[in-house]
Amino acid sequence: MLGSALSAMAEVKVGQPFPRLDAFGLEGALPETSGKVVLVDFWASWCAPCRASFPSYSTLQKELAAQGFVLVAVSVDKQAGAYGDFLKKYAPGFATVRDATQRLAAEVKVPGMPTSYLIDRHGVLRAVHVGFHGDSSVREIRDQIVRLLEEKP
C-alpha cells in the first residue's frame, strides 16, 4: 500500500509551496490552476469516504468556480479500469487525474485516503484535511476556501 512507499519521502507542510501538478506525469487533463485557490483531493476507487465526498465536492466546484476555485481529484488507483469505472459511476463535476505511479502521492506523503490539500492563489499549502466526515468536513473546507478566495491576489 502507500504507507511503505511514502515513508522515505518528504512531506509537504502547511506554509510550504505545493508541488506543481504538471511535473508528475499525471494521466488526464489538468485544469488551469495558476492564480486560483485549489483543492487537491487524493482518492482511490476502493475508498468508501472518497465515494461519499464526490457529490459534495462537485457542489463546491460548481458553487465557487466563478470566484477562482478549482478542485483537482488525484486518484492513486494503479489499475486504469478501476479508475475509469469509478468515474463512470460517480460522474464528478470537477477535474480528475490518475497518479498511476504514485509519484505525486509520494512527494506530498499522503497519509491516507481521502486526503485533501488546500492551496492558496500563490501555490502555498494552507490546510490539510485527512479523511472525509460528511457535512462537517464540507463546512470546514468550504469556509477555508471562501476565506482564501477573499484574500487579495
Domain coverage including residue 148: 35-98+115-153
* Residue 20 belongs to a domain: no
pTM of the model: 0.91
Distance CA 5, CA 36 (A): 30
pLDDT in tens, 101-134: 999 999 999 999 999 999 999 999 999 999 999 9
pLDDT in tens, 24-62: 999 999 999 999 999 999 999 999 999 999 999 999 999
* Residue 13 belongs to a domain: no
* Residue 15 belongs to a domain: no
What CATH number should be reported for the domain holding residue 46? Answer: 3.40.30.10
* Residue 3 belongs to a domain: no
What number of residues does the chain have?
A: 153
With cell 465557487, the residue in question is: 64
Per-residue pLDDT, 10? 53
* Residue 29 belongs to a domain: no
144 within 8 A of 126, measured Cβ to Cβ: yes
* Residue 22 belongs to a domain: no
Average pLDDT over residues 73-100: 95
Query: What's the structural domain count of the chain?
Result: 1
* Residue 103 belongs to a domain: no
